[in-house]
Amino acid sequence: MELEPMTKVWVGEGGPVSGFFLSEEDARFVRGSYAGTNPVRFAETLWRMAQVSPSAKYGFRTAILEYVVDLPVAAAVGFCAANTNLGSGGVYQYFIPDWEKCMFRTGRRYEFRHAKY
């Protein structure tokens, strides 16, 4: 699919950006931005929904960063559901191979209260 300019996506903070991003909607959910919702307290919750394993050295990334698409860019998108050994799934992930050429970081950051349960 093609992501249009001004599309917001989120990525885990810490270490190199791999090209995998989360949707704005899923980031809003974990931040408790919708009426009647509470923020997710544990980073592990998000990464299990994204079916991402923790770093052997650092564990789960404890914050997410917002990026915005500046130029139209091709992206693969998928619903995380296949790797149940890594978590329940349930969020959308984008893979944007050329993200450095067409996106910029906004400076918005969300930090989870705790890394693990």
pLDDT at 113: 78
Distant-in-sequence, close-in-space partners of 100: CB < 8 Å, separation ≥ 6? none
pLDDT tens-digit series, residues 95-108: 999 899 999 999 99
pTM value is 0.88
pLDDT tens-digit series, residues 47-91: 999 999 988 888 888 999 999 999 999 999 999 999 999 999 999
pLDDT of 92 higher than 80? yes
| Average pLDDT over every residue of 13-28 | 90
The answer to whether 9 touches 69, Cβ cutoff 8 Å, is: yes
pLDDT at 97: 93
pLDDT of 116 higher than 80? no
